Amino acid sequence: METQRRVLAGKGRDVVIANLKFACSMFALICIAVGAAPKHASAITADIARKCNALTAKQFPPREPGNPAAGSAKGSGRAQYEYFNKCVANGGKVDANAVPK
């Protein structure tokens, strides 16, 4: 009977230690995840987006007016994407001499 009590007491202690190890490892994992999370991203304003959209439309006129599916007379979709992102990154100011690819 005494042997059974020691065995049960030992198992209980192992369970507590295992739970403590699990809790510590989960806490460490959460701390790493929170630390590795990207910092807040700055959102663009609607004014900058409108201005860049207008500048992009001016720089890349449509092949057929009124038909956006016809594509652009200058450059590719990738060039338009890069131009718009460059405009947003510069706060709505783009080099007037920027030549589309």
pLDDT tens for 4-55 read 555 445 566 676 777 777 777 777 777 676 777 666 656 788 999 999 999 9
Tokens standing for residue 52: 């860049």
Q: How far is CA 51 from CA 22, 64, 85, 97, in A?
A: 53, 22, 12, 17
Reply yes or no on whether the pLDDT at 84 is more than 90.
Answer: yes
Overall average pLDDT of the 75-84 stretch: 90
Overall average pLDDT of the 61-84 stretch: 86
- For residue 25, the model assigns a pLDDT of 78
Tokens standing for residue 61: 């006129």
**What is the residue type of 67?**
N
Overall average pLDDT of the 50-66 stretch: 89
Q: How far apart are CA 58 and CA 53, in angstroms?
A: 9
Rounded to two decimals, what is the model's pTM?
A: 0.51
The model's confidence at residue 87, banded by pLDDT at 50, 70 and 90, is: very high
CB < 8 Å & 24+ apart, contacts of 66-75: 74/100, 75/100, 75/101
